Amino acid sequence: MRSEIIQLGYLISTALFIFALYWMNHPNTARKAVFAGIAAMAIAVLATMLGSGITNWHWIVGAVALGFIVGVPLSWIPLTAVPQRTALSHAFGGLAAGLVGTAKFYLWLSEGPENLTPFRMTAIIVEIILGFLTFTGSLMAAGKLQEIKWIPQRPVTYRFQNVSNIGLLAIALICGLLIVIKPVEMTYLFPVIIVLSLVFGVLLIIPIGGADMPTVISLLNSYAGLSAVAMGFVLDNKLLVTAGALDGSSGLILSIIMCRAMNRSFTNVLFGAFGQVQAKAQAALQKSVKTETPEGAAQVMENASLVVIVPGYGMAVAQAQHRVRELYDQLTKKGVDVRFAIHPVAGRMPGHMNVLLAEADIPYDKLVEMDDINPEMPQADVVLVIGANDVVNPAARHDKTSPIYGMPIIDADKAKTCFAIKRSMKPGFAGIENELYYSDHTYMLFGDAKAVVGELVKYFSGGAGGH
């Protein structure tokens, strides 16, 4: 009876994990998804505890308390720091998998070598390699995203880098193979594999530029998931196998979506040293830009029928979403049709703009995906670009030498008038000039996004000589 209850618990938990991922597909159901995930995890932990006949409860209670002590402050971080927070979670997941695999190996070894079957050994080796490389790789990724001083942001490359990295991984795999074949005689290789995996995690990340880290993090997510699958085989726990597989595949799918939206291949992200390409490609356009005042821009906007707002990373940095909501309210009150054009990789993490705009209670039906808004861009009287740069750069469509060539963009250049809010002429993520800013019908509104949108709102609410 007890075993049936446990299996039922695992089944419900698996179903809830699947629903959680499914509901994450839409902002309307995302909140439900979070609760489903929490419920699934709670049921999983309870069922596992019921099944394991634990007597030393103080260890479990201590671990849960420790989890709370670390986890609660982690949840207080600002939204712009979510990518590095996610990387830290993966680091913990990888470390946990690696440590469980290590503990199981030495435990089984002490209980008798007959426990170390080739199947179990293979699962343990996969678990520790993936677990420990995810640990150091994710720590490096978090460090790069947090811009920690002693971790270089730019890609660090050297001769024969890829060959030596792959060589290192190959040595770890060969050691793993030897220990699978002769676990007792080759025990001394176990710590060697751990060290090689830890080093490999660091070396895997250093050639990748800081800005590519979000994609790398979702790839590391899939490694953490796969190490959890291996852990499931080691511990003979079916739920870990399914949950790990869900984690692994969703991480992989997300990285594929991100690569597609940037028109980059996996190999280009992992081995392309993107930050270096940027430096070479930065041939400055020696043209001048036109500027406009917030009042001037507001006057054009209030006479428009359709205004499309393109938010980008700068809106997140400035935390301007609530001002943007006020602007939306004011324009809508004046009968202007306002829509938001959402690029899949605007910002620094998938769904970044959706989350910010949802936080400011912008109606979901006003958020239009890139493919749906682009055909309407020629009809837009005004496009207001708020801290977006690469995702509206027309060079992606025609300049074969551009590092973003082929990346789908929002056609802001096709609107009748374009106002672009940013603080300077500095480039965005890809490190290149944006020809949109130099176009005849583009006017720059220089300044911090929150301040400039605030000025626009002030005009509409009558504060700056406006109506």
Give the active site residues: 390
Is 428 a binding residue for ligand NAP by CB under 6 A? The answer is yes
- Near ligand NAP in 318-337, by CB under 6 A: 318
Q: Which of 388, 444, 445, 453 binds ligand NAP (CB under 6 A)?
A: 388
Residue choice 155, 209, 214, 251 for contact with ligand NAP (CB under 6 A): 214
Work out how close the CB of 382 gets to ligand NAP at its nearest, in angstroms, rounded to a whole number. 18
Which CA distances in Å does 204 have to 137, 174, 249, 250, 457?
A: 7, 19, 20, 21, 47
Counting contacts by CB under 6 A, is residue 391 touching ligand NAP?
Answer: yes
**82 counts as binding ligand NAP under rule CB under 6 A:** no
| Selected range binding ligand NAP among 95-103, 109-117, 160-168, 311-319, rule: CB under 6 A | 311-319
Q: Does 350 bind ligand NAP (CB under 6 A)?
A: yes
Restricted to residues 395-424, the positions that interact with ligand NAP (CB under 6 A) are 421-424
Q: Does 352 bind ligand NAP (CB under 6 A)?
A: yes
Closest CB to ligand NAP among 232 and 251?
251
Q: Does the protein bind ligand NAP through residue 101 (CB under 6 A)?
A: no
User: Residue 313 interacts with ligand NAP (CB under 6 A)?
Assistant: yes
How many binding residues for ligand NAP (CB under 6 A)? 32
Residue 135 engages ligand NAP in binding (rule: CB under 6 A) = no
**Can you tell me which of 9, 143, 207, 347 binds ligand NAP, judged by CB under 6 A?**
347
Minimum gap (Å) between residue 40 Cβ and ligand NAP: 25
Question: Which is nearer to ligand NAP, 207 or 214 (by Cβ)?
Answer: 214
Judged by CB, which is closer to ligand NAP: 151, or 388? 388
Give contact residues for ligand NAP (rule: CB under 6 A). 211, 214-215, 258, 262, 312-314, 317-318, 345-350, 352, 387-391, 421-424, 426, 428-430, 448-449
